[in-house]
Amino acid sequence: MKSGIGNVPSHISSHPVMPNRLEDDVRSAYARATEGSGSPDELLSAVRILVRDLKREGLPPEKVIITVKEVCGLPLITFAADTDAAADSNPAKQISEMMVRAAIDEYYTKPWPNAVSSNAPAKGVER
């Protein structure tokens, strides 16, 4: 049985068969970035938003990376010869590597310790 995304069996797929809007945003931004009609910044922004959502849902980092790769139709297995994107001048390969690095960085990014949330009082202001 297929998952609906690539050739990944449904028991391996890390997310539901029905894609959501955030996945569609990443898929579209990836297609535009690899075609040259979109910017890498647009793709990285979409990836970061999807990663935050998946992390909030409780997915572990390896499932988040698998989901990001599946959404963009990338292979889930990397071979040793494919690991040096800097040596590969293929723009699609470089964009893919940049996207996976951004997903990992976003997953492990912690909120700023002094960040003000909407329900936290401002410094010097009592409630």
pLDDT confidence of residue 83: 56
Give the closest residue to 101 by CA, choosing from 82, 80, 85, 122.
85
Rg over alpha carbons for the chain, rounded to the nearest Å, is: 17
Domain residue ranges of the chain, discontinuous segments joined by +:
21-108
pLDDT confidence of residue 45: 96
SS percent in the chain: helix, strand, coil, step 5 = 55, 0, 45
Spatial distance between the Cα atoms of 54 and 61, rounded to a whole number of angstroms: 9
Rounded average pLDDT per 10-residue block, the chain, 127 residues: 42 51 96 93 96 95 95 81 59 89 94 51 45
Grouping H, G, I as helix, E, B as strand and the rest as coil, residue 9 is strand
Give pTM, 2 decimals: 0.68
pLDDT confidence of residue 4: 42
Query: What is the rounded (10 degree) CA torsion for 19, 49, 31, 105?
Result: -120
pLDDT confidence of residue 56: 94
Spatial distance between the Cα atoms of 71 and 5, rounded to a whole number of angstroms: 7
